[in-house]
Every structure is written in C-alpha cells, then in structure tokens.
Amino acid sequence: MRRSIIGKREDPFLHCTICGSQVLLREPEVISEREDWMALCRHRGKATARSRRPTIVPSAEVEETDFKNHVFGWMHFYRAILDEPATGRVYLSGIDHGTMIDYYPGPVPTDPDRARLRGFVRNENRWNVDFHMVNLFEPDRHREAGRRIGFPAHPHCWLLVDRVIGFAKVLPNLRAYTEAVMAFWPANKRDWRPPTQHLPGTDSCFEQGAFGRREGVTPHFNSEDEAENYFYRLDTKSMRDEELWHALGSPYRTPAIQELMKVATRPRARTEKVVSRLPVELALMTVDLIYRGRPLCQERINDTQNILEAFQWTLPDSYWKKRCEPELVYEVGDLEASGKPVDWAVFCLGLEELIVDPHWFCVSGLRFRQRILRVLKGIKERFEEIVAKNESDLG
C-alpha cells in the first residue's frame, strides 16, 4: 500500500497510550547517546548515500539505553500494538522514531526485535506496515472502515507494562489489553497529555508525595540580584533556556539509582563493637527517634549514618526496604532477585540523599514513573476483568 493512496487524513498526533504524552519528533542529537550508534550511522551514511536505507539496531538497545545527555531521548521512540479489524489480528510492532511525513507516522517495523534509529520508509513493504493512530476519545472512522489501528507506546513505558501486569499475561492477550486501554482513557481524560516539562515551583512539582515530600520547589537565591536575574531570564528566555526547566528523565531506568545499586552491593568489612550487641529493638527505637525528630534533610541522613557507623548497628533488612517505598522504587525487588548481598542501609540512605535535592524527584523520571504506575494499575484492573470475562465465556 503506497502512502499516496491513503490520502491526507486527520488522525490524532502520535501519543503514548500508556503515559499519555506525545511521541516527540526525532532529533539527530538522540543518536549521540551511544558511540556505537554514532559509528553505525556514520558507516551507513557513507555506504548507502544513494539509497538512504534506514539504520536498524536490536530493539533491546533502545530499551536498555540511559538517555543521560539528551534527557527526552526516550520519548523520541515508540512501538505500537497493531490491530487489524479486517482480519482480527493483533500484534506488537518493532521500534521506530517519531518522524512524521505530511502528518503521518512512518510505517513501523513489523519485527518487534528491530528498532529504526534513523531514516524512514515512505511506503509499506515486507518489513514495515502503515497504521492510523487510535482515536481514544471520538468515534474512530478508520477502525469503522476496517483500517489498521495502532496503539503507540514509548519503549520505556512499554517495559513498565511488564512491571505492573506482566508480558506473560499481556502478550497472549493483546486484544484484551487494547480494550482495557480504550476503556481506561475516556474515563480518565484529565490524565491525558501530562506536562513533560515545567518550570520549578509550578503545580506539576506538587505531585511528588513520595518519601514524605509534598511541597513544591521554591528556588533559593543568595542575593536580590540573583533573584532578579532568575526572574528576568524566565520572562525573556524561559521558552528557550532548557536549564530553567524540569525535563523528565526516563520513568523506567534511573541512572542515579542504577549507580546506587552498584554501591550497595559492594563487599564491606565490619568490625563488631560491644555496643553493637545491644538488642535490635533498642537500635530501632534510636533510629526511629532520629526519623521522627525532623523531616527529610541532609542533617537527618548524616545523624543516621553517624550513629550506625559509631555503634556498628545492623538493622533488619525489612526496616530499610520499607523506607525505600519498594512499590515505586522497584529496584528494591531487582536487588532482592539478584542474589547479591545488599547493604540496605547504604541503599536507603543513598536514595534519601538523592531525594533531598528538591529537583531530583522530578528530573530523574521518578515522579513520572509514579504517575505511569498509577495509570497502569487502572489499565490492569480493566484488563483482568476483560480476560476473566473472555475465559468465562469460553468455559
């Protein structure tokens, strides 16, 4: 099917049907996140200058990449669940970038293990198929006409589906999953198209809520001149100066937490002191007094670290895990499953040190993760109801 045959259409812009935010247009800088990507693109560019063939890599490379330099990099890619109303087939596509041609998304790879980094395909072929973005809020004329419908998802958002529902359940029941998505979003339209960047101190910062932090971010100034300069920059450059914005990192992988996991699993030698043989209940009471005595701040973390070090106390692992909010910070479960010895005090207090920075919870992607997990719980409820009904009808 040639693109010229489809004709101009008024589809919704590509949005992730998990987080609700737009799939961003591809920017060349995204490729610079990995040296091997840059080398591959340079090689392909020279070798295929005439054909302009796309640059393809395994999907896992996009899924496993930490976009540290280009913080929005994870939002420039998507895969889609493709629904063929004419045949009833529902399947998962490969990964493509957000480049659009005359308001169209490019045909997406059919192989779920392939990702297109660069270049685009104008027409359907053996390896790529066209689709129309699903219309979640209005009658879908393309579905009614029997055309192929797509449910896009950022690759990192799609991986969160495995965390909340499980691919083992979703992949054999993709139609039930798409029905759950279509049931969830019209009932929760206020969550569609969330802000993906904002100025510090705006309402978006008030979503924090984790680790006892519910306040917005108030900029701190050392002088009136510094404050005046800050607000002057907001007035004149806020739409162009990225340094002023809270830009969301990937909700799936947080590089700072990955580094903290490495630190917490390093072998450590301990020397036992007499006072360390005190009943664990007494040690817990002492640390709890420190926690209750003041809100989360660097001083509280320092006091806790100092008393643990001074008396060589080892509190139960369960105590520290609970303080890490394992439902949100699912890396706690990853550490448990790794089988490695973990210093949970180091991990928990290290996580609190990250949270002390009032900007980190936002820009790390953890706030956005919190929101997406909430959305996926709603989708999961509907998905399980649909699957149960289907099984009941068959049984």
What is the per-residue pLDDT across 288-300, written as a single tens digit (0 to 9) for each? Answer: 889 888 888 899 9
Helix (H, G, I), strand (E, B) or coil at 254: coil
Other CB atoms closer than 10 Å to residue 136's CB: what's the count?
Answer: 19
**In the prediction, which pLDDT does 217 show?**
43
Distance, in Å, from the CA atom of 250 to the CA atom of 365, rounded to the nearest integer, reads: 5
- Closest to 295 (Cα-Cα) out of 216, 236, 355: 355
DSSP H/E element including 56: strand 55-58
**In the prediction, which pLDDT does 271 show?**
54
Average pLDDT over the chain reads: 83
Structure tokens at 56: 């393809």
Q: Are strands 149-153 and 132-133 parallel, antiparallel or unpaired?
A: parallel
**In the prediction, which pLDDT does 237 show?**
45
DSSP H/E element including 262: helix 255-264
Where would I find the H helices in 35-122? 35-47, 59-63
**In the prediction, which pLDDT does 49 show?**
40
**In the prediction, which pLDDT does 123 show?**
77
Q: What is the DSSP letter of 125?
A: B
Other CB atoms closer than 10 Å to residue 145's CB: what's the count?
Answer: 10
Q: Are strands 77-84 and 89-92 parallel, antiparallel or unpaired?
A: antiparallel
**In the prediction, which pLDDT does 311 show?**
84
Half-sphere exposure in the Cβ direction for 294 (13 Å, CA): 10
Q: Evaluate the CA torsion angle 180, 186, 189, 194 in order and state its sign.
A: positive
DSSP H/E element including 170: helix 167-170
pLDDT < 50 positions in the chain: 1-7, 47-51, 208-209, 212-221, 231, 234-240, 274
Tell me the domain boundaries of the chain. 29-193, 197-247, 255-362
